[in-house]
């Protein structure tokens, strides 16, 4: 049993952890492991059945487990996994037929751009809507011009090696 | 200055923590509690939580596995054990650790003449 303050503090802590590991495919496993460990600490603390866990105890256990900052500095086993950048939508002006919209979309979804070109072509045949959408995207999506933007477009991490 | 020292230390520990976890498991299967206690005693970890993301990643990489075992009190516990792949991986890590120590010592003992 936890009292209200203790419950809220614990809830906040766990929410924070979940947010921290949001991009980790094993988020659920990591957080549930940590939860069981916290439960063990509470078990050790509770001496009489029905004893209530208070805020001080929750704070003590959170201190033992570590805050998000601690996780940042020492949790990553394979940094390349964690610091992986997700691709950003740019127009690929190096590989374009019109504005590079389709090849940009190809990088973004890791699909052959020919597929998007075909789709736009087909929708255009069907009342010209495709052309309109294409032009809107041409205007709205920025071109990848600098090396940084090109790396972002491909979803690669920016570092000295690939600059 | 102090902050920087702490940072540098944390970075060093981070690099070898993986090696230490595998070493502890190479001596026998362990449950997270034992693992944490041993690492804490050796001052390899300061807070407990950081061990879990590492264990999960090592498990995903096929270096270790776990099984559930009933515990005398409380819910079942995860027992971690090293896989064959993990053993090979550890052997390589230990090799490069030895090399690293030698390299650092060589540099430290160099005389400027």
Same domain, A67 and A91: no
- Name A91's bridge partners: A143
Write down the pLDDT at residue A123.
87
Cβ <8 Å between A26 and B47: no
Annotate A91-118 with b (16+ C-beta within 10 A) or e (fewer): bbeeeeeebbbbbbbbbbeeeebeebbe
Same domain, A135 and A75: no
- A62 neighbourhood in chain B, CB within 8 Å: none
> A75-84, A96-105, B27-36: lowest mean pLDDT where?
A75-84
Count of structural domains within chain A: 2
Count of structural domains within chain B: 1
Give residue B63's pLDDT band: very low, low, confident or very high (50, 70, 90): very high
Residue A81 or A137, more confident: A137
- B34 to chain A, any CB pair closer than 8 A? The answer is no
- The angle, 0 to 180 degrees and rounded to 10, between the axes of the packed helices A129-140 and A101-109 is 80
Give residue A10's pLDDT band: very low, low, confident or very high (50, 70, 90): very high
ipTM of the complex: 0.80
pLDDT (tens digit per residue) in B1-54: 788 887 788 778 877 899 999 999 999 999 888 899 999 998 888 889 889 999
- B14 neighbourhood in chain A, CB within 8 Å: 73-74, 76
Write down the pLDDT at residue B101.
94
CB A97, CB A114: distance < 8 Å? no
pLDDT (tens digit per residue) in A127-144: 888 888 899 999 999 998
Global confidence as pTM: 0.61
Q: Name the residue range of residue B66's domain.
A: 2-109
Domain boundary at A20, A49, A80, which? A80
Same domain, A154 and A141: yes
Give residue A81's pLDDT band: very low, low, confident or very high (50, 70, 90): very low
Residues of A with CB under 8 A from a CB of B: 17, 21, 24, 26, 29-30, 33-34, 36-37, 39-40, 43, 63-67, 70-71, 73-78, 81
Which of A17, A29, A37 shows the shortest C-beta gap to B48? A37
Report the share of chain A in percent with pLDDT over 90: 23
Same domain, A90 and A155: yes
Write down the pLDDT at residue A98.
87
Q: What is the mean pLDDT of chain A?
A: 82
Write down the pLDDT at residue A80.
41
pLDDT (tens digit per residue) in A16-50: 888 888 888 888 899 999 999 999 899 888 888 88
Q: Name the residue range of residue A108's domain.
A: 85-163
Rounded Cα distance between B1 and A156, Å, is: 33
Domain boundary at A80, A96, A124, which? A80
Read off the CATH number of the domain in which B67 is found. 1.10.10.10
Same domain, A20 and A73: yes
């Amino acid at each position: 049993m936890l009292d209200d303050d203790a419950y809220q503090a614990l809830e906040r802590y766990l929410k924070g952890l979940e947010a921290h590991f949001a991009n980790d495919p094993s988020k659920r496993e990591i957080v549930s492991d940590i939860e069981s460990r916290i439960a063990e600490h509470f078990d050790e603390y509770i001496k009489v059945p029905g004893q209530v866990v208070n805020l001080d105890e929750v704070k003590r256990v959170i201190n033992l487990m570590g805050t998000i900052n601690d996780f940042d500095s020492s949790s990553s086993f394979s940094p390349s996994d964690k610091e992986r950048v997700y691709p950003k939508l740019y127009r690929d002006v190096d590989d374009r037929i019109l504005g590079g919209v389709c090849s940009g979309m190809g990088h973004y979804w890791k699909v052959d751009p020919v597929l998007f070109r075909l789709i736009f072509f087909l929708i255009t045949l069907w009342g010209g809507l495709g052309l309109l959408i294409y032009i809107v995207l041409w205007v709205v999506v920025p071109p990848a011009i600098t090396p940084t933007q090109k790396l972002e477009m491909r979803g690669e991490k920016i570092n000295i090696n690939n600059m | 200055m102090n902050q920087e020292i702490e940072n540098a230390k944390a970075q060093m520990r981070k690099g070898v923590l993986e090696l230490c976890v595998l070493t502890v498991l190479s001596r026998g299967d362990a449950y997270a509690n034992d693992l944490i206690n041993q690492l804490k005693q050796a001052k390899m970890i300061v807070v407990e939580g950081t061990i879990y993301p590492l264990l999960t990643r090592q498990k995903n990489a096929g270096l270790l596995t776990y099984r559930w075992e009933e515990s005398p009190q409380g819910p079942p516990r995860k027992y971690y054990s090293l896989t064959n792949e993990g053993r090979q991986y550890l052997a390589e890590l230990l090799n490069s650790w030895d090399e690293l120590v030698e390299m650092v010592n060589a540099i430290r003992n160099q005389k400027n003449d």
